[in-house]
Structure 1
Amino acid sequence: MSHTDGYTRRQLLTLLAGASAVFTFDPAFAVSAPSTETGGKNMLTRPIPSSNEPLPIVGLGTYRGFDVEPSSAAYKQLPAVLRALFEKGGTVIDSSPMYGRAEQTTGELLSIHEPRSPAFLATKVWTRGREEGIAQMEQSFKLLQTDRIDLMQIHNLLDWQTHLPTLHEWKQEGRIRYIGITHYTASAYDEVEAVLKAEPLDFLQINYALDDRGVEKRILPLCRERGVAVICNRPFGGGDLLARLKDKPLPRWAADVRVNSWPQMALKFLLAHSAVTCVIPGTGNPRYMADNAGAGFGPMLTGAQREQLIDIVT
């Protein structure tokens, strides 16, 4: 148990218990009908190309939502966020040293989760220099309270040539299971493409949204060709996508694909692309997490349905 901020397991449980009546996960916000594709309560999975390991297609981003103190009301919602993810079969939790306290919060909450968390832990290295990168990644292990990290990514390609040998070495040793790179802006696509062509990678995390489709031209086809799993960050675009859609009616066929909200529809749009492995909408709200997880169930969108959605936002 990490005691970085002086919070023991008992103290955390005490802090969280005080709000349990208020922030208990509400099943009414979950998708009640099981997916015919899974035949049960768990969301759909897709294989990681480099290993064929199945990965649930909706995960959780911790930017902002998990950068909170244990004494705050926002922190007290987070156990229910994780419960909403896990109860629907999701496992992917993505963090970074760039996200303030998010790694530490994630480690604290997973350490008190019962039963043992099924989390697929992804984080990043975000610094320059070999020794600085090693020190930062060692700190991530401590904050996440784990001996093994599932996916270590080079955040925004920062000093990637320096960090990549360390990642390959640690993967060989079993400290990390997969290696990836990340970015979030179209201005970096040329460099992302060059790295994908030059280096053997397991994952790319990249921005992709209904109103931000630049990766469809070259990046996603290249990932499919190179056997690289794709995690979509910023899946709701730059921030105004859902605001623009909220007052519009869902398409008449929404029920056919088991969609009952615009966030689910926006996520399903991305998941309909064959190169996409997982989407990681960020939230600290259990109701939003339960709704987002609903995108992992039911049929995927057809090409015609995707085109109709593009027409709605353009």
Structure 2
Amino acid sequence: MDEVRNPQGQDKREERISPSRREVLAAGFGGALLLGASPPAQETPRPASPAPEGGRTMLTRPIPRTGEKLPAIGLGTWQTFNVGTDAKERAPLKDVLKRFLEAGGRVIDSSPMYDRAETVVGDLLEELGQSRTPFLASKVWTMGRVEGEQQMRTSVQRMGRGRMDLMQVHNLVDVQTHLATLRQWQEAGRIRYIGVTHYLPSSFEKLEKLIREETLDFVQLPYSLTQREAEARLLPACAERGVAVVVMSPFEQGALFQQVRGKALPPWAAEFDCTSWAQFFLKFILGHPAVTCPIPATSNPKHLEDNLKAGFGRLPDEKTRAKMVKHLGL
């Protein structure tokens, strides 16, 4: 998702023109899968040293299964990291990663569905000398056990240079086949955590069934001020079963910024240390106790810094979150 600011400093963020995930899924699972060497046993990654913001450090949330703490704001790579090898094209992304890690961010999420994003992340982290600092998450998105193993080996080498913290079954594609493989990899120490994802609320029933019947570490789902279906059953199920929640599409592909275009931030936003609409949207999500971290995507270093500020200071309580919904007329 690309982001721009108008002269008045208010946010408006525009989605790049590209196929939807539904369209990509409909296109099938073709494409060459590179064969990578089996990754070595996992080492526990070195935590980042959070850079203080006004003497503070970023909020963290524990992974319920282990208690390991993750910074509250992560980084997505859908569309934004799908670039070529040109150094000028990659320069802002390298700056994004550098500032993200310096501020204490760790969770970086990608997928083989995102074309070159995994490779770009891996290359830039290596250039920054930060290959072992982030909490890296990717996905398996193909049919069949052998094909899934090949794809995951490729992702581990491209993005993690031999390691991966979290591997997820993308959009529940051949989910039972891949979950069996993921458990084997986890037991062997090749990955640390396993999870599932889906971007459609119509699949929340399937997600909930898996959460309640399987032993999962993570689920990735859409949740925002305007898309709150997960509040009904899915987020409570995650809390009950001890499953960490990664939130995709926190800005609704930029639609939330269009909705508040030209509107001033309400003065009471200062009560929870909010100074921009991006922070308003992200702090609403973080105000739900079941959420581990949202993963907004950006290629703009300044907008990254704005997003990261949502992970500092106070969060809205339940009453204030209801007020936020009402303020936007939702």
TM-score (normalised: structure 2) = 0.82
Instruction: Measure the CA separation in 2 of the matches of 1:113 and 1:180.
Output: 28
Shift of the 297–177 alpha-carbon distance from structure 1 to 2, 3 Å rule, reads same
Please say if residues 246 and 262 of structure 1, whose CA atoms lie closer than 8 Å, have aligned partners that are also in contact: no
Is 2:54 the counterpart of 1:33? Answer: yes
Map residues 8-157 of structure 1 onto 2, 5 A cutoff.
32-34=53-55, 40=56, 42-71=57-86, 73-114=88-129, 117-157=132-172
1:274 aligns with 2:295: no
Matched-pair contact (CA < 8 Å) for 2:238–2:244: yes
Find the aligned partners of 1:94 and 1:75 in 2 and give their Cα distance: 17
Distance in structure 1 (CA, Å) of the matches to 2:204 and 2:88: 39
Give the residue type in structure 2 aligned to 1:215: A
Whether 1:177 aligns to 2:192 is yes
Contact in 1 for aligned 2:58/2:71 (Cα 8 Å): yes
- Which residue of structure 1 aligns with residue 37 of structure 2? none
Is the Cα contact below 8 Å between 1:179 and 1:201 reproduced in 2? yes
- What residue identity is the alignment partner of 2:54? A
CA distance in 2, matches of 1:208, 1:31: 28
Q: Secondary structure at the match of 2:168?
A: strand
Equivalents in 2 of 1:114, 1:159: separation in Å? 36
Distance in 1 (alpha carbons) for counterparts of 2:242 and 2:73: 20
Spell out, residue by residue over 1:99-155, the C-alpha distance to the aligned partner (whole angstroms, 9 max, x if none): 010000000001111466521000000000000000000110121142221000000
Instruction: Measure how far apart 1:74 and its partner are.
Output: 3.5
Instruction: Determine the structure 2 residue equivalent to 1:27.
Output: none
- Aligned-partner Cα distance in 1 for 2:262–2:319: 22
Q: Give 4+ residue runs of structure 1 displaced > 6 Å after superposition.
A: none
Partner residue of 2:39? none
Q: Supply the AA of the counterpart residue of 1:295.
A: A
Tell me the secondary structure at the aligned position of residue 176 of structure 1.
Answer: coil
Confirm or deny that 1:224 pairs with 2:224.
no
Following the alignment from structure 2 to structure 1, what is the Cα–Cα distance between the partners of residues 53 and 251? Answer: 24
Structure 1, unaligned stretches of length 5 or more? 5-29, 35-39
Q: State the partner residue of 2:181.
A: 166
Question: 2:306 is matched by which residue type in structure 1?
Answer: D
Answering whether residue 320 of structure 2 is matched by residue 305 of structure 1, we say yes
Specify which of 215, 240, 248 is matched with residue 200 of structure 1: 215
User: Are the equivalent residues in 1 in contact too, given 2:136–2:160 (CA < 8 A)?
Assistant: no
Name the stretch that deviates more: 191-200 or 267-276: 191-200
Identify if the C-alpha distance between structure 1 residues 145 and 117 changes in structure 2 by more than 3 Å, giving closer, same or farther.
Answer: closer
Query: What is the identity, as a one-letter code, of the residue corresponding to 1:175?
Result: R
Query: 2:203 maps to what in 1?
Result: 188
Aligned equivalents of 1:116 and 1:144: distance in 2? 9
Instruction: Say whether the 8 Å CA contact 1:31–1:291 is kept in structure 2.
Output: no
CA-to-aligned-CA distance 1:137-192 (integer Å, 9 cap, x gap)? 01101211422210000000000100111100111111100000001111111111
Kindly indicate whether residue 315 of structure 2 is the aligned counterpart of residue 293 of structure 1: no
Name the SS for the 1:149 alignment partner.
coil
> 1:238 deviation in Å?
4.3
Answer yes or no: is the 8 Å Cα contact 1:196–1:223 preserved in 2. Answer: yes
Shifted more, 183-192 versus 304-313: the winner is: 304-313
Question: Are residues 74 and 306 of structure 1, via their aligned partners in 2, closer, same or farther at CA, if it must alter by over 3 Å?
Answer: farther
- When normalised by structure 1's length, the TM-score is 0.86
Q: What is the root-mean-square deviation in Å for CA atoms of aligned residues? A: 1.6
State how many pairs are aligned. Answer: 280
**CA 1:31–1:253: 2 relative to 1, 3 Å:** farther
3-state SS, counterpart of residue 165 of structure 2: strand
